C-alpha cells in the first residue's frame, strides 16, 4: 500500500499535548499497515512544522506552505482535538483543497464542539440532556444557584475549565475558570448516574455501527486530572442490562446521524434512573491505543491499527457537509 496520509497533530489550544499523543499513535498504526505517512505538527503559535522545521515564516506563511502538503496527500487525518481542529477548521481547509479527510465535516465539527448547540440538536432528536443555561462571561456576577451544578466552557475539550460546584461561594471562581477557555459558559444541573461512553463508526461502505459501550469509574468529576493521571478506571464492555444497552446505543446512533457525523465519534452519557442523558459529543475523540474509543472497538474485535485504517478508508471530501438531519 502506498497511499499517503497526512497526519496532523498539536494545535492552538489547551489540548495540544493530547493531540500530539493521538497523532503519534495514529501515524505509527498507519505505518504498521503499510501506509506512507507524512506527519506535521501545528505549534501553539499556529506555525506548521514538519520534521522539526517550520513550513514558512509565521502562522500565515507556514499555513500557506502546508496547503501544498494537503494538496499532495491522498487523505488527511486531523488528529487535532479542540478549537481550530476538531471544530471543523481543518476539515474546512481540506474541503477547500478537495482532499479527503478523516472524520466529520466542517458543519458537524463546529456543532459538535458547541455544547449548547449540541443540546439543542439532541432535544430536537428526542435525546435527553442535563437541564442548564447559557451565560456570557460578562454576566458572571449576576448568576446565583441553590443546587449542585457543573460549570463548563461551551467549546472546549478534555474537560478543561470544567468545575463541579457544590457550594455557592465556589460558583464565581468556577465561572471565571470557564471564562478562560470560552466567553460563553454552560451551567448544568448535576446528573446522578453511571458514566457510559458509546463510540460510533461509519465505515467506508456507509454502515454505521457501535461497539460495546464503556463505563468510566472515577472519584467525583471525571475532569482533566482524572482523564490523564491514571486514577480513572474503565470497564469495557460496560456491565449493562439489555434494555439499557439498547437505549444507550440507540441514542448514540441517533445523535451520530442527527449531527451528520462521519468517521468515528464518541457520545458520552449519564445512565440515570430515567434512561440515558447525553453529556457531550466528541467528533475527534482521543485516538491513542489506550483511549476510550479504541478500547471499545478492541472489545468488538477491531484492533487499533485496523480501526485507524478503516477511518482512512472511509475518508471523503466534505463538500456536501450539511446542517443536522432532524427528520
Confidence of residue 325 (pLDDT cuts 50, 70, 90): low
Q: Which of 127-141, 216-230, 273-287, 305-319 has the lowest mean pLDDT?
A: 216-230
pLDDT of residue 316: 92
Task: Give the tens place of pLDDT for each residue, 54-88.
Answer: 998 889 999 999 999 999 999 999 999 989 999 99
Residue 118 pLDDT exceeds 80: yes
CA dist list (Å): 71 to 34, 75, 76:
21, 9, 9
Neighbours of 45 (CB within 10 A): 10
3-state secondary structure of 42: strand
Strands 48-50 and 53-54: antiparallel
Residue 229 has pLDDT above 70, yes or no: no
Over the chain, what is the mean pLDDT? 91
Buried b (16+ CB within 10 A) or exposed e, 74-91: ebbbbbbbbbebbbbbbb
CA atoms within 13 A on the CB side of 97: 23
Position 228 confidence tier, pLDDT thresholds 50, 70, 90: very low
Q: All 3 cell numbers of residue 113?
A: 464542539
Q: Which residue has 506552505 as its cell numbers? A: 65
Residue 147's pLDDT band (cuts 50, 70, 90): confident
Evaluate whether 90 touches 292 at the Cβ level (below 8 Å). Answer: no
Containing 136, the helix (H) or strand (E) segment is: strand 132-136
Q: Can you give the pTM of this predicted structure?
A: 0.90
User: Is cis: bond before 237, omega within 30 of 0?
Assistant: yes
232 versus 161: the higher-pLDDT residue is 161
The 10s digit of each residue's pLDDT in 187-222 is: 999 999 999 999 999 999 999 999 999 999 977 555
Q: Assess contact for 280 and 162: CB atoms under 8 A.
A: no
Out of 52-66, 265-279, 306-320, the most confident range is 265-279
Strand ranges (E), 213-263: 214-217, 233-235
Please tell me the predicted confidence (pLDDT) of residue 153: 93
Cell output for 70: 494537503
> Which domains, ranges and CATH numbers included, belong to the chain?
4-103 (3.40.50.20), 111-128+192-313 (3.30.470.20), 132-189 (3.30.1490.20)
Cβ-Cβ contacts under 8 Å for 22 (sequence gap 6 or more) = 9, 79, 81, 286, 287, 288, 291
Q: Comparing C-alpha atoms, which of 133, 91, 138 is closest to residue 112?
A: 91
Q: List, in order, residues 6 or more apart from 123 with CB less than 8 Å away.
A: 129
Question: Whose grid coordinates read 448547540?
Answer: 117
Of residues 76 and 231, more confidence is placed in 76
| Cβ atoms 311, 293 nearer than 8 A | no
* Residues 259/202, Cβ–Cβ less than 8 Å: no
User: Distance (Å, rounded) from C-alpha 66 to C-alpha 180?
Assistant: 30
Nearest to 27 by CA among 4, 44, 11: 4
- Positive/negative CA dihedral, 171, 172, 173, 178: positive
Whether 172 and 193 have beta carbons less than 8 Å apart is answered as: no
Burial of 53 (0-12, 13-18, 19+ CB in 10 A): exposed
Local confidence band at 300 (pLDDT 50, 70, 90 cut-offs): very high
Closest among 75, 51, 83, 45 to 63, alpha carbons compared: 45
- The pLDDT of residue 1 is 53
Amino acid at each position: 500500500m502506498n497511499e499517503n496520509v497526512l497526519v496532523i497533530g498539536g494545535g492552538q489550544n489547551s489540548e495540544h499535548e493530547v493531540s500530539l499523543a493521538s497523532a503519534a499513535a495514529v501515524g505509527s498504526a498507519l505505518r504498521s499497515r503499510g501506509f506512507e505517512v507524512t506527519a506535521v505538527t501545528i505549534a501553539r503559535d499556529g506555525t506548521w512544522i514538519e520534521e522539526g522545521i517550520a513550513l514558512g515564516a509565521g502562522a500565515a506563511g507556514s499555513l500557506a506552505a502546508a496547503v501544498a502538503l494537503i494538496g499532495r496527500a491522498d487523505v488527511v487525518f486531523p488528529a487535532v482535538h479542540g478549537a481550530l481542529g476538531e471544530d471543523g477548521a481543518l476539515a474546512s481547509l481540506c474541503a477547500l483543497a478537495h482532499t479527503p479527510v478523516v472524520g466529520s465535516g466542517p458543519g458537524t465539527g463546529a456543532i459538535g464542539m458547541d455544547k449548547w448547540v449540541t443540546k439543542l440538536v439532541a432535544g430536537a432528536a428526542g435525546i435527553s440532556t442535563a437541564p442548564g443555561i447559557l451565560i456570557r462571561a460578562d454576566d458572571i456576577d449576576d448568576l446565583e444557584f441553590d443546587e449542585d451544578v457543573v460549570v463548563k466552557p461551551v467549546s472546549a475539550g478534555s474537560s478543561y475549565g470544567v468545575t463541579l460546584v457544590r457550594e455557592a461561594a465556589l460558583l464565581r471562581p468556577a465561572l471565571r475558570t470557564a471564562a478562560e477557555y470560552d466567553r460563553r459558559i454552560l451551567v448544568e444541573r448535576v446528573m446522578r448516574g453511571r458514566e457510559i461512553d458509546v463510540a460510533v463508526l461509519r465505515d467506508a461502505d456507509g454502515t454505521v455501527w457501535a461497539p460495546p459501550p464503556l463505563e468510566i469509574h472515577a472519584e467525583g468529576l471525571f475532569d482533566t486530572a482524572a482523564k490523564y493521571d491514571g486514577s480513572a478506571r474503565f470497564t469495557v464492555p460496560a456491565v449493562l442490562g439489555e434494555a439499557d444497552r439498547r437505549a444507550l446505543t440507540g441514542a448514540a446512533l441517533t445523535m451520530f446521524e442527527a449531527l451528520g457525523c462521519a468517521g468515528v465519534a464518541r457520545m458520552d452519557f449519564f445512565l440515570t434512573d430515567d434512561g440515558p442523558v447525553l453529556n457531550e459529543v466528541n467528533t475527534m475523540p482521543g485516538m491513542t491505543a489506550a483511549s476510550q474509543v479504541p478500547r471499545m472497538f478492541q472489545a468488538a474485535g477491531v484492533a487499533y491499527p485496523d480501526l485507524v485504517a478503516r477511518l482512512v478508508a472511509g475518508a471523503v471530501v466534505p463538500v456536501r457537509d450539511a446542517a443536522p438531519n432532524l427528520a
